[in-house]
Amino acid sequence: MPQMQTKRDTKSAHAVPIAPRELPTTGTQASAVNQLAAILAQYTIVGHVYLEISIGPEMAQAMLDRNFNNRPLRETRAKIMARAMLENRYRAKVPHPICFDIEGVMRDGQHRLRAVILSGCVITFTVCFGCDPAERDYYDQGISRSVADIAREHGHLNVMAGQALVALILRIELQEPASLDRNKLTERLDELYGTDPDFDMAIKTGMRLRLFVTPSASGLAYWTIAHGTARRDRLDAFWEAMVSGANLPPRSPVLRVREHFRAATARSTRDVAVKAAAAIIIAWNGLIERRNPRHFRWDSTVRLPEVV
C-alpha cells in the first residue's frame, strides 16, 4: 500500500509534518485516477501542500493525464531516469517536488513520471499541490550542476578532462552510446579517481597529445592499453613517441598514426573520439607485434580493438 505524508507551507506558517495515511488502491488505472482526484479535491488549496506519495505506473499515468501546455517531453531523458530506477540508483527524495497548481494541472515532473512508467518501478516522490499557475514560468531556470561541478566538490582535479574520459569509458563498458546520467557518471568518476592510478595518467597523457588528437580519445586509448596489455614496460616509450614523434622509422606505426591524426578533419564528437582511441590501439598492437597495420580505420563507436 502506498504511503503518504503531508506537509503544508502557507504564507502564514512553516511546513508542518502530518501523520502518514494510506491510500486505498486496487492496482488498476481507474483506481489511480480516482485516488488522484480525491487528493486534488482535498489538498488543492491556496498555498503549498507537500505530500510524500509512492507512485507506480498507474498513478504516474493518472498524473501525466493532467499534464497540459508543458514543454515537450524528452523520451531519451526519461529513459535515462528509468534505467537509474531499474538499477536502484535513482534518488527521488531531493528538494524538488512534482508540482500541481490550484487548477489541478501538473506543472513539473513529467520526465520523472514517464520514467516510472518505462521502468515499472514504484518510487516515493514529494508532490506539491496548490501552486500558483504563474510559477511555472520560473521552473528550471537555475544553472544545472554538471558532473564536473560535482567532481570539483568531491575534491578532484582536471575535472573537465576527467568527465569527458569517463563518459567514453562508460560507452565502452556499456557497449552503447554513453548516456547523460549524471549520477552514473559521477559514481564512476569517483571510483576511478579514488582507486585507479592509470586513470590519472590517462588524463595527463591526453592533455600532452591535445594538439593533434582529442584528449579524451588519447586518454581512453591510454587507459584501455594500460588495463589490457601484458607489456606495460613498453608504455612510457610508446607514449613519449606519440607525443614527440622524434627519431621514428618511416614505417613506424606510431609515426603513421600521428600522420593519420594530422590529416583528419572530422569535428570532435564521442563517436570520433572512440575511433581515434581505436587508431592508437591499432598502432600499439602493431608496435608490440612488430608489424605495420594496413590502416587505422575503425568502424565501431562502442567497442575497441583487443589490446596485445
Name which of 8-12, 43-47, 260-264 the model is least confident about. Answer: 8-12
- Mean pLDDT (whole number) for 210-224: 94
Instruction: Give 238's contacts (C-beta < 8 A, 6+ positions apart).
Output: 254, 284, 287
The verdict on residue 300 lying in a domain is no
- Which tops the pLDDT comparison, 106 or 29? 106
The verdict on residue 232 lying in a domain is yes
Number of domains composing the chain: 2
Strand partners, 9: 48
What distance in Å separates the CA atoms of residue 237 and residue 259, rounded to the nearest whole number? Answer: 18
- Mean pLDDT (whole number) for 17-41: 67
Instruction: Give 66's contacts (C-beta < 8 A, 6+ positions apart).
Output: 36, 100, 104, 105, 106
The verdict on residue 295 lying in a domain is no
The verdict on residue 48 lying in a domain is yes
CA 126 to chain CA centroid, nearest Å: 23
Q: What tens digit of pLDDT does each residue of 95-124 get?
A: 689 999 998 999 999 999 999 999 999 999
Name which of 24-33, 71-80, 126-135, 249-258 the model is least confident about. Answer: 24-33
What is each CA distance from 274 to 145, 176, 220, 223, 229, in whole angstroms?
26, 12, 8, 12, 18
Name the residue with cell 504511503.
3
**Statement: residue 26 has pLDDT above 60:** no
The verdict on residue 307 lying in a domain is no
Strand partners, 131: 101
User: Same structural domain for residues 95 and 179?
Assistant: no
Q: What tens digit of pLDDT does each residue of 271-280 get?
A: 999 999 999 9
What distance in Å separates the CA atoms of residue 289 and residue 106, rounded to the nearest whole number? Answer: 62
The verdict on residue 40 lying in a domain is yes
What pLDDT score does 139 carry? 65
Beta strands in the chain (DSSP E): 3-10, 13-22, 48-55, 98-101, 106-108, 123-131
Pick from 97, 113, 138: which residue ends a domain? 138
The verdict on residue 306 lying in a domain is no
User: Same structural domain for residues 165 and 282?
Assistant: yes
What pLDDT score does 23 carry? 41
User: Same structural domain for residues 163 and 125?
Assistant: no
- Mean pLDDT (whole number) for 152-177: 85
Highest mean pLDDT among 37-46, 159-168, 202-211: 202-211
What distance in Å separates the CA atoms of residue 287 and residue 234, rounded to the nearest whole number? Answer: 10
DSSP of 70-100, one letter per residue? PPPP-HHHHHHHHHHHHTT-----SS--EEE
What distance in Å separates the CA atoms of residue 64 and residue 54, rounded to the nearest whole number? Answer: 15
User: Where does the pLDDT of residue 4 fall: very low under 50, low under 70, confident under 90, or very high at 90 and above?
Assistant: low
CA 303 to chain CA centroid, nearest Å: 19
Q: How far apart are the first and last CA of the chain?
A: 56
What is the percent of the chain where pLDDT is above 90? Answer: 56
**Statement: residue 219 has pLDDT above 90:** yes
- Which tops the pLDDT comparison, 2 or 242? 242
User: Same structural domain for residues 49 and 169?
Assistant: no
Burial profile 184-211: b = 16 or more Cβ within 10 angstroms, e = fewer: bbbebbbebbeeeebbbbbbebbeebee
User: Same structural domain for residues 46 and 169?
Assistant: no
What is the percent of the chain where pLDDT is above 70? Answer: 82
Look up the domain containing 95 and give its range: 3-138
Beginning with the edge strand found earlier in the chain, give each strand of the sheet holding 98-101 in spatial order: 13-22, 3-10, 48-55, 123-131, 98-101, 106-108
